A = this chain, B = another copy of it.
Amino acid sequence: MGLAKTEMFTDQQNEIALFAKAFGHPARVAILQHLFNINSCVCGDLVNEIGLAQPTISQHLKELKHLGLIKGNVEGTSVCYCIDTKNWSQMKQIMSLFLDQDIEKQDGCC
């Protein structure tokens, strides 16, 4: 149906899925990588950097902002975006609980 049955999973499972979904598109990966690389605010040039139209970039930025992974500050006519490092490390902790499950488990069978 295109609709995930979130109510049958734990909050933790749904939260992991939400963050992962944000990283599930190369444009959002590229946006985040660019924000890390310049290590400061980006005012405006994201549309030139990534090769997508302005409304499309704006939409991706909105999703990332909604998740709290980036911050946006208005500076005159442009908006400056950067990583929210605090929320980023919180996200990493949640993802690590999931990704590091292989630690101390031996290859069981198969």
Contacts and interface: CB of A to CB of B under 8 A. Distances in A.
A21 B17 CA distance: 9
B25 A17 contact: yes
A82 B99 contact: no
Given A4-B25, A5-B52, A17-B23, A110 B30 contact: no
Contacts of A9: 26-27, 29-30
B39 A17 contact: no
A54 interface: no
Contact of A29 (B17, B51, B107): B17
Contacts of A16: 23, 26, 29
> Which 3 A-B residue pairs are closest in the complex by CB-CB distance?
A20-B23, A21-B24, A9-B26
